[in-house]
Chain A
Amino acid sequence: MTTQTPVISCANVWKLFGPHPKKYLANMPAGRSFDDIRKDGYIAGVRDVSVDINRGEMLVVMGLSGSGKSTLVRCFSRLHEITGGTIEVDGQDIMALNDRDLIELRRNKMGMVFQSFGLLPHRTVLENVAFPLEMRGQDRHDRRERALEVIKLVGLEGREEYFPRELSGGQQQRVGIARSLAIEPDIWFLDEPFSALDPLIRREMQDEFLRLQEMLGKTIVFITHDFDEALRLADRIAIMKDGAIEQCDTPDQIVLNPATPYVRKFTEDIEKSRVVHARVLATPMNGHIPDGTPIRAGATILQLARQLVNETREELPVANGNGELIGILNRQEALDVLLGEG
Chain B
Amino acid sequence: MAVAQTNVAVPAPTLTRMRVAQILLAAAVLLAAARPVLPEFLIRVPEWAVLPYNVWMQALFDFIKDDLGLIHLTRGISAVLEVLLDITANLLYGKHRWPFFEPIPWTAIAAGAAVIGYWLGGWRLAAVAGGTFVWVALIGQWNLAMQTMSVIVVAAPVAFLLGLLLGIAAWKSSRFERFLAPILSILQTLPFFTYLLPAVIFFKVGPTAGCVATIVYAIPPMVLMTTLGLKKVSPEVVEAGNMAGSTRWQMLRHVYLPAARTEILVGVNQVIMLCLAMVVLTAFIGMPGLGAKLLSLMNSLKLGRSFEIGVTIVLIAVTLDRLSKAWVVKQPEHFERGTSWAARHKYLVGGIAAFAAFYVLAQFVQVADHITRKQELSMGSEIDDVIRAALANDTVTAVTGWLRWFLITWVLIPFRNALLWLPTPSVLLAIAAAGYAVGGRKSALTVLAFFGIVALTGWWDRSIITLYAVVCAVILAMLIGLPLGIAAARNPRWANPILLACDTMQTFPSFIYLIPAIMLFSVNDVAVVFAILIFATVPLTRYTIEGMRAVPEELIEAADMAGASRNQKLMKVQLPLALPTMAVGFNQAIMFAFFMVIIAAFIGTQDLGQELQRTLAGNDLGKNFVLGMCVSLMALTFNHIIMRWSNDRRKALGVG
Contact = CB atoms under 8 A, between A and B. Distances in A.
Interface stretch (B82-90, B232-240, B266-274, B488-496): B232-240
A116 interface: yes
Nearest to B242: A79
Interface stretch (B168-176, B253-261, B284-292, B623-631): B253-261
Interface stretch (B2-10, B48-56, B207-215, B334-342): B334-342
B446 interface: no
B334 A124 contact: yes
Interface centre among B234, B236, B240, B261, by most A CB within 10 Å? Answer: B240
Contact of A132 (B244, B259, B334, B337): B244
A160 B493 CA distance: 43
A104 B331 CA distance: 34
Given A106-B245, A112-B239, A120 B234 contact: no
Contacts of A212: none
B234 A118 contact: yes
B584 to A, nearest CB: 29
B247 A103 contact: yes
A179 B244 CA distance: 9
B628 to A, nearest CB: 40
Nearest to A100: B247
Contact of B239 (A104, A114, A123): A114
Interface in A50-95: 74, 77, 79
B617 interface: no
Given A106-B245, A131-B254, A135-B250, A122 B240 contact: no
A121 B337 contact: no
Interface stretch (A161-169, A266-274, A313-321): A161-169
Given A103-B247, A106-B245, A160-B337, A79 B239 contact: yes
A103 B245 contact: yes
Contacts of B243: 77, 79, 106, 110-112, 132, 180
Given A120-B259, A166-B334, A114 B247 contact: no
A195 interface: no
Interface residues of A, number: 37
Contacts of B254: 120, 131, 134-135
A162 B258 CA distance: 17
A136 B244 CA distance: 8
Contact of A163 (B240, B259, B334): B334
Interface in B332-359: 332, 334-337
A194 interface: no
Contact of A118 (B240, B334, B337): B240
A132 B247 CA distance: 11
Contact of B331 (A105, A116, A163, A179): A163
A115 interface: yes
A107 interface: yes
B246 A118 contact: no
Interface string A141-180: 0000000000000000000111101100000000010011
A117 interface: yes
Contacts of A103: 245-247
A234 interface: no
A160 B335 CA distance: 10
Contact of B237 (A110, A118, A165, A180): A118
A152 to B, nearest CB: 14
A122 B259 CA distance: 7
Contacts of B240: 112, 114, 118-120, 176, 179
A118 B255 CA distance: 11
Interface in B191-225: none
Contacts of A106: 242-245
A248 B640 CA distance: 55
A75 to B, nearest CB: 13
A103 B239 CA distance: 13
29 contacts: A74-B239, A77-B243, A79-B243, A103-B245, A105-B245, A106-B243, A106-B245, A107-B245, A112-B240, A114-B239, A114-B240, A116-B236, A117-B236, A118-B234, A118-B237, A118-B240, A120-B241, A120-B258, A121-B259, A121-B261, A124-B334, A132-B243, A134-B254, A135-B244, A135-B245, A135-B254, A161-B334, A161-B335, A179-B240
Given A120-B259, A121-B259, A135-B246, 8 more contacts: A79-B239, A103-B247, A106-B244, A108-B245, A116-B234, A120-B241, A135-B254, A161-B335
Interface of B: 234, 236-237, 239-247, 250, 254-255, 258-259, 261, 331-332, 334-337
